Homo-oligomer: A and B are copies of this chain.
């Protein structure tokens, strides 16, 4: 995870846009995970239509990435390096995960 993403809220454009909500529970075997997670964040940031990302983990991990369109999400999901990471995720690192693809209709915030 890059430091910038770990420490900040995503700055996204006016809706509509899309959010991919990735919720997960890890296995105990984490060898290679953090390096891969960092690499995938850096790769995601380079994809067309990437708008931002937020991530946190306690018992459950939640990563929400924001995208311009469903087609941009599909392209990222089919990226060859991302596909290899997904395969390792299923076979080694994740005990359970859920991916939800959602259309952001409204966004508001507060900054002190």
The answer to the question of A7 belonging to the interface, with a C-beta cut-off of 8 Å to chain B, is yes
Give residues 20-68 of A contacting B (CB, 8 Å).
Answer: 21, 23-25, 27, 54-62, 64
> Hey, which chain B residues are within 8 Å of A80, CB to CB?
none
Q: Which residue of B lies closest to A20 (CB)?
A: B106
Interface: A83 (CB within 8 A) = no
Q: Mark A91-106, 1 if CB is under 8 A from B, else 0.
A: 0001111111111111
| Apart from the given pairs A8-B60, A96-B110, 20 other A-B contacts in the complex at a CB distance below 8 Å | A6-B60, A7-B60, A8-B25, A9-B24, A15-B100, A27-B112, A54-B62, A55-B60, A56-B56, A56-B60, A57-B58, A62-B64, A94-B112, A95-B112, A96-B111, A98-B107, A98-B109, A100-B106, A101-B104, A101-B105
**Which residues of chain B have C-beta atoms less than 8 A from A97's C-beta?**
9, 109-110
SS of A interface (majority):
strand
Chain A interface bracket (under 10, 10 to 19, 20 to 34, 35 or more): 35 or more
Instruction: Please give the residue numbers on chain A whose beta carbons come within 8 Å of chain B beta carbons, in ascending order.
Output: 6-10, 12, 15, 19, 21, 23-25, 27, 54-62, 64, 90, 94-112
